[in-house]
Amino acid sequence: MPLIYVTSPIHPDVLQALSSTGEVRLGYGPNAVAYTDIQQQVDAVFLRGGHISAQMIAASPKLRIVARHGAGYDNVDHQAAAERGVWVTNTPGANRRSVVEHVFALLLGVSRKLQLATDQTRDRVWAADRLSLTGIELEGRTLGLIGFGDIGQHVAPVAEAFGMNVLATDPAYDASFDARLVDLDTLLAKADVVSLHVPLQSSTRNLIGRPEIAKMKAGAILINTSRGGVIDEAAVADALRSGQLGGAGIDVLAAENTDMINPFSCNTFPVSDLPNLLVTPHVAGQTNESLLRVGMSAVDAIRAVLRGEPPLHPVNEPVSRAFD
């Protein structure tokens, strides 16, 4: 029976499906097993949290697939996996609705100052200064989408339903593809809200830094549900303090699992010091429905590879396959 390693908690129905596929070992919980304890025997890794490095792959002679729970795959060395004949897969689109809804949860939270209002109420202060809680409406505002792939294209119609104008930029598309597509400088200059929907790559690291923020409208709102490293966190912190950015809704950090009193890796972005900042702990894709869809998509990939078939959503091309 194949051995399947699960790095982090997953939907119970997904865990049951995996248990019917092979022998499951968990990397979490009271009976957690360290990867080093099973690396010689493991056939498949179900990767949610954590990282799978080139060294871990090299130490796993039977490994055939790392199935990523989610669309991003920057936490696995997919090139090293390909060189070892190991598939790496992801689950594009499976958490789309959840992420799209979270974009607007963050945007509405920031634009209506819900964090500040909630904090005041919890402190038993009933709107002592109503003017400080004055928000803005979305209708008539311009949303700029940096990245117009699967998520961005589904954010757009929701924004338009709010009465927003939508602009987008994406190097993968020509302007003739969609009238909303513009270059990055145009988007930054015209957008009241900028929302990021790009993978973390060398070309996107610190994509939004001091020069880009300076090109944005004073008081614009920044939303990031993609990856933490695509923004310069110190620059965003300074812009929130100065008012160049009116607010930010952030679901992803460059260094996660950190002290949330001071969560940004630059150590200049304490939540308590920035009332115009709303931070959530990488949960944009975390709804019950989404976790089930994403998890079952990853299970399907594992089952396919263990049957000797190519998976539906590979992100690499193994140079050799033991099952060919």
What are the tokens at 91?
């689950």
Q: What domains appear along the chain, each with residue ranges and CATH number?
A: 3-93+288-306 (3.40.50.720), 96-279 (3.40.50.720)
The residue from 68, 282, 303, 313 that is catalytic is 282
Q: What is the DSSP string of 192-258?
A: SEEEE-----TTTTT-B-HHHHHHSPTTEEEEE-S-GGGB-HHHHHHHHHHTSEEEEEES--SS-S-
**Residues ≥6 apart with Cβ < 8 Å to 270:** 261, 262, 263
Q: Do residues 311 and 65 touch, judged by C-beta distance below 8 A?
A: yes
User: What's the pLDDT at 119?
Assistant: 84
Question: Which residue in this structure is represented by tokens 């396959």?
Answer: 321
For the stretch 125-176, pLDDT in tens is 776 678 888 999 999 999 999 999 999 999 999 999 999 999 999 988 876 6
User: What's the pLDDT at 322?
Assistant: 44
The 10 Å CB-count burial string (b at 16+, else e) for 202-230 is: eebeebbbeebbeebbeebbbbbbbbbbb
pTM, two decimals, is 0.85
Each of the 324 residues of the chain gets a pLDDT tens digit; together they read 999 999 999 999 999 999 999 999 999 999 999 999 999 999 999 999 889 999 999 999 999 999 999 888 889 999 999 999 999 999 998 999 999 999 999 999 999 999 888 888 887 777 667 888 899 999 999 999 999 999 999 999 999 999 999 999 998 887 667 879 999 999 999 999 999 999 888 999 999 999 999 999 999 999 999 998 999 998 999 999 999 999 999 999 887 765 555 555 555 555 567 889 999 988 999 999 999 999 999 999 999 999 999 999 999 999 864 444
Angle between helix 288-306 and 12-19 (nearest 10): 10
| Strand-by-strand arrangement of the 65-68 sheet | 23-26, 3-6, 44-47, 65-68, 87-89
197 catalytic? Reply is: no
The residue from 25, 48, 96, 227 that is catalytic is 227
317 catalytic? Reply is: no
User: What's the pLDDT at 265?
Assistant: 55
48 catalytic? Reply is: no
User: What's the pLDDT at 264?
Assistant: 59
User: What's the pLDDT at 324?
Assistant: 42
The residue from 137, 160, 256, 289 that is catalytic is 256
User: What's the pLDDT at 201?
Assistant: 87
